Amino acid sequence: MERKERSFDVISQLAALRRYARSLVRNADDAEDLVHDALLRAYEKKQSFRRGGNLRTWLLSIMHNTHIDRLRHDRSLARRHDDAAVQTEQSLQAGQEHAVRLQQVRDAFFRLPEEQREALHLVAIEDLSYQEAASALGIPIGTLMSRISRARVQLRDFEEKAPRAAQLRLVGGNGNEGN
């Protein structure tokens, strides 16, 4: 029986689940609640996990579906997301250019539409393949690719509007970066 438990080792996936939850809800406390709810669902549906399947993708899919369910039941969460994106300090003391720039990039990422943000997060941060990310989100791979492409375009637009000295190079996609 202990051997079966090891094949269902969700503890080793906590870091990825927490990162994805934080990307989805943008609040540490809400992210922990989302991870808790998703893990509860995973344990309740443990028998539906296919032996030999990709546990990480399965858990991320549960996380995604849990998040969607929470949004449907609590529309005020969407208002908190918008408020969190607006309420950021735009300036810091001299010598903090990198911290300011990182905050600006983070804000630009969080201003992406949720569908684009979650797709880009799974591929760029969680390092899932397009197929794994599409499976986790329950969408066709072409839809995933389209969402990632649109997210990259919006981030490139953000970069073009940023001061030249502070620009970051975006990796991937078909744009002309770094010229």
Q: What is the pLDDT of residue 8?
A: 76
**Domain boundary at 68, 87, 106, which?**
87
- Arithmetic mean of pLDDT, 57-63: 95
Determine what percent of the chain falls in helix, strand and coil, rounding each to the nearest 5.
75, 0, 25
176 vs 18, higher pLDDT: 18
Overall size of the chain counted in residues? 179
Total domains present in the chain: 2
pTM: 0.57
Phi, psi of 57 (to 5 degrees): -60, -40
Q: What is the pLDDT of residue 58?
A: 94
Number of Cα atoms under 13 Å in the Cβ half of residue 143: 10
CATH of the domain at 79: 1.10.1740
State the Cα–Cα distance between residues 113 and 99, nearest whole angstrom: 24
74-99 pLDDT, tens digit each = 776 456 556 666 664 444 444 566 77
State the Cα–Cα distance between residues 78 and 5, nearest whole angstrom: 37
Which range of residues forms the domain containing residue 102?
95-169
113-142 pLDDT, tens digit each = 999 999 999 999 888 999 999 999 999 999
In a domain, 148, yes or no: yes
In a domain, 177, yes or no: no
Q: Verify that 42 and 66 share a domain, yes or no.
A: yes
**Domain boundary at 20, 54, 87, which?**
87
**Domain boundary at 61, 87, 113, which?**
87
